[in-house]
């Protein structure tokens, strides 16, 4: 006789213990959820308390500007009496977070007062200890703190992190180095904007625009020229060229002109066309050649560049572009035609009647209708992707 496994007590026992196990897991998850919610609420209250205790002292520190060593010593003695509650602050993350928030909201002597305050309560030591943290938020906060403090010791501590595999850590490290010593950072680390292909060009531009152009212009132009000579990859080369918008035009003009006349790479050409100096009329014939390039993106940017010149002699090329196969090229050509002075006064109907196709006429009328709307505002683009 065959044994009936389903009727034996073993499956029932397995089902029973499985039910107990799932029930225990459910209860455990519920208890864990309650614990985490209570812990988050407790931490939130704790940080609110710390912020409330720390902010008045930070604001007071921004007003402390000792003018002599004697005044500095007397204020330090007074401050030691004013800050006894800081010993009770057991959350260094919240302390650094509050200090950094206020530091980046101020400028000038006020930040110098915050830096003096930070050294008195041991913030530099806390930041140095947090640099080796495995938690990314703590490491970034430590890097930012050392950048705001501006100490030479901080530069040496942060510099190795610029080669970190994590692009966020490396970028924030470079940002901190520029804040600590901009001249040294430009000399030693500017090449990183070429090497680190994982850095967002928007983030890099955010740093470069904060640097004095007199200091940035020459090394940046030299870097772009050398990178082109080394045959840098097309996408990264176009990014480097787009950063030249932060250099002096008379420094970058020669570099842009040389690259524009020699290269045939699509993205590099587009980057050069965006920054092509208006005072170089000898380059305009090559720009007009780009109007017939086989790549529609290049044709599109060539039209945008011609729109800066406002020359009536370009009208035949622009009219020809109204019949382009690519919609965006036709659209940009129509907008450039409408920007010519002669059509601002006389309207477009005489030209519309002379256009060879309904395709071109419809596009020109569409753009003219859009231009009549108050909300229509063309937005220029400088940075490469």
Q: What is the pLDDT of residues 192-214, one digit of tens each?
A: 999 999 999 999 999 999 999 99
Averaged confidence pLDDT in the chain = 82
**Rounded average pLDDT over 98-110:** 78
149 CB-contact burial (10 Å; exposed 0-12 / middle 13-18 / buried 19+): buried
User: Do residues 175 and 207 make contact, with C-beta atoms less than 8 angstroms apart?
Assistant: yes
Residue pair 93/140 in contact by the 8 Å Cβ criterion: no
Of residues 146, 232, 141, the one with CA closest to residue 193: 232
For residue 216, give every residue at least 6 positions away whose Cβ sits within 8 Å of its Cβ, in sequence order, or none: 186, 208, 246, 247
CB atoms within 10 A of CB 226: 13
Show the tokens assigned to 217: 């212009």
| 299 and 290 Cβ atoms separated by less than 8 Å | yes
Q: Under CATH, which number does the domain 290-385 receive?
A: 1.25.10
Please state the rounded mean pLDDT for residues 30-51. 79
> Residue 140: what pLDDT?
92
Query: Percentage of the chain with pLDDT > 70?
Result: 83
Above pLDDT 90, what percent of the chain? 40
The answer to whether 120 touches 76, Cβ cutoff 8 Å, is yes
pLDDT band at 244; cut points 50, 70, 90: very high
pLDDT band with cut points at 50, 70 and 90 for residue 83 = very low
Q: What is the pTM of this model?
A: 0.76
Q: In the chain, where are the structural domains located?
A: 48-59+90-189, 290-385
The residue with greater pLDDT, 33 or 97, is 33
Rounded to an integer, the average pLDDT of 169-195 is: 93
CA distance 183 to 177: 10
**What pLDDT was estimated at residue 346?**
66
Length of the chain: 385
Mean pLDDT of 348-355: 78
Q: How far, in Å, CA of 290 to CA of 297, rounded?
A: 10
pLDDT (mean) for 296-309: 91
- Tell me what pLDDT residue 225 has: 94
Q: Is the pLDDT of residue 84 over 50?
A: no
DSSP string, 7-67: TSHHHHHHHHHHHHHHHHHHHHHHHHHHHHHHHHHHHHHHHHHHHHHHHHHHHHHHT----
Q: Output the pLDDT for position 357.
A: 81
Res 77 pLDDT > 50? no
Which is more confident, 4 or 252? Answer: 252
Q: How far from 9 is each of 6, 12, 14, 150, 248, CA to CA, in Å?
A: 8, 5, 9, 74, 87
How far is residue 13's CA from residue 10's CA, in Å, rounded to a whole number?
5
The better pLDDT of the pair 147, 373 is held by 147
């Amino acid at each position: 006789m065959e044994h009936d496994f389903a009727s034996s007590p073993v499956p029932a026992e397995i089902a029973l213990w499985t039910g107990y196990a799932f029930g225990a897991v459910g209860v455990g998850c519920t208890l864990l959820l309650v614990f985490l919610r209570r812990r988050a609420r407790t931490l939130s209250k704790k940080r609110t308390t710390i912020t409330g205790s720390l902010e008045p002292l930070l604001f007071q520190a921004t007003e402390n500007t000792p003018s002599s060593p004697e005044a500095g010593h007397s204020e330090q003695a007074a401050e030691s009496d004013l800050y006894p509650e800081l010993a009770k602050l057991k959350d260094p993350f919240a302390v650094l977070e509050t200090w950094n928030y206020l530091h980046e909201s101020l400028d000038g002597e006020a930040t110098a007062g915050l830096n003096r305050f930070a050294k008195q309560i041991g913030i530099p030591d806390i930041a140095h200890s947090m640099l080796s943290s495995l938690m990314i938020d703590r490491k970034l906060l430590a890097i930012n703190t050392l950048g705001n403090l501006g100490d030479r010791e901080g530069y040496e501590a942060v510099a190795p992190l610029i080669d970190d595999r994590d692009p966020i850590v490396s970028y924030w490290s470079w940002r901190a180095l520029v804040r600590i010593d901009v001249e040294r950072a430009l000399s030693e680390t500017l090449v990183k904007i070429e090497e680190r292909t994982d850095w967002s060009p928007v983030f890099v531009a955010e740093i470069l625009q904060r640097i004095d152009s007199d200091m940035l212009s020459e090394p940046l132009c030299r870097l772009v020229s050398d990178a082109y000579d080394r045959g840098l990859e097309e996408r990264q080369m176009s990014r480097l060229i787009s950063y030249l918008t932060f250099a002096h035009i008379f420094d970058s003009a020669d570099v842009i002109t040389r690259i524009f006349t020699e290269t045939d790479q699509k993205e590099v050409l587009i980057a050069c066309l965006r920054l092509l100096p208006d005072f170089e009329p000898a380059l305009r014939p090559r720009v007009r050649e780009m109007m017939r390039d086989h790549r529609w993106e290049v044709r599109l940017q060539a039209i945008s560049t011609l729109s800066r010149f406002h020359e009536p002699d370009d009208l035949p090329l622009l009219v020809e572009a109204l019949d382009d196969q690519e919609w965006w090229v036709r659209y940009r050509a129509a907008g450039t035609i409408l920007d010519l002075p002669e059509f601002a006064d006389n309207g477009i109907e005489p030209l519309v009647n002379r256009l060879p196709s309904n395709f071109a006429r419809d596009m020109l009328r569409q753009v003219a209708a859009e231009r009549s709307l108050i909300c229509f505002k063309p937005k220029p683009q400088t940075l490469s992707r």
